Amino acid sequence: MADTDDATSGARFQPSVPAHAAVFPLKGCGSLDWGMQSRLARIFRPATSRTVMLAIDHGYFQGPTSGLERVDLSIVPLLRYADALMTTRGMVRSTVPPASGAPIVLRASGGPSILRELSDEQIAVSMEDAARINASAVAVQVFIGGEFETQSVHNMTRLVDESQRYGIPVLAVTAVGKELTRDARYLRLATRICAELGAQVVKTYYCAEDFDTVTAACPVPVVMAGGKKLPELDALTMAYRAIEEGAAGVDMGRNIFQSHDPAAMIRAVGAVVHESAKPQAAYNMFLRPPAEGTEPAAPEARNTEASRGHGR
């Protein structure tokens, strides 16, 4: 039998030290369940509470996009530089290496192709399957002002209800159609609706004027969408401004995988997001990437110590 003579020694209990329960320091996390916080801590780097998502889910409505013809060749080598990968379950199961360690933000809505009305989406993935894939979050398109606005909002709220059961956060993506203006007034409306109805993270576009009012009015983290392909310096400048104005990260696709040097570009974006590098300095990094063998550690390696307390 174990010796229990000194099991109640007061010194070991440190009664003078208050108990401390650490909450993941991300906007809106305070009231979330432990599982939600743990998954968000996989997506948002604990050291900075920011993220560089690599978006490659374009094929779910527009087929093999330029730069994504062979995901195994163009994207898999970039995973070590991404904090999270936004993709589809088909691509996860067919192409993404399980040992890559990349947290998955799983596209959960879909239906129409670019040949039809895009706002007519339905829920395309069950939360049970997202859990089976070990997704860190699910993503759903919300078309505020679109023809099927109410249906897309209902798609999101159904996933939010299920997210509480499974502990998997919902990322609401504010879709902007050709007829809608990407100004602060619209973005405030769209992001606030998504947050008010339960999304734990919102992804939206950057606007040159008053973007800080968009992030300030949204009670959950706002992640900036990369949008169309821009010259590298312009894309880095947009990312820098978004972060400076309150964004909790970026979700870039075409501005990374359509660059002539995607690996250098995602490293430069990471410097902007996590190190607050100025656009020109980050662009210089892009032009002169580090020599082979001198690259910074991958996100999962950098996060090892911090993430142990968050269930990674």
Catalytic residues: 203
Q: How far apart, in whole angstroms, are the C-alpha atoms of residue 270 and residue 283?
A: 12
For residue 296, the tally of other CB atoms under 10 A from its CB is 15
Q: How far apart, in whole angstroms, are the C-alpha atoms of residue 296 and residue 276?
A: 16
Contact 213, 183 (CB under 8 A): no
Strand ranges for the chain from DSSP E? 51-55, 84-87, 104-107, 109-110, 122-123, 137-142, 170-174, 201-204, 222-225, 249-252
Contact 11, 281 (CB under 8 A): no
Strand ranges for 183-309 from DSSP E? 201-204, 222-225, 249-252
Q: How far apart, in whole angstroms, are the C-alpha atoms of residue 244 and residue 239?
A: 9
The closest alpha carbon to 272, from 289, 292, 258, 286, belongs to 286
How deeply is 196 buried, as exposed, middle or buried, from its count of CB atoms within 10 A (0-12, 13-18, 19+)? exposed
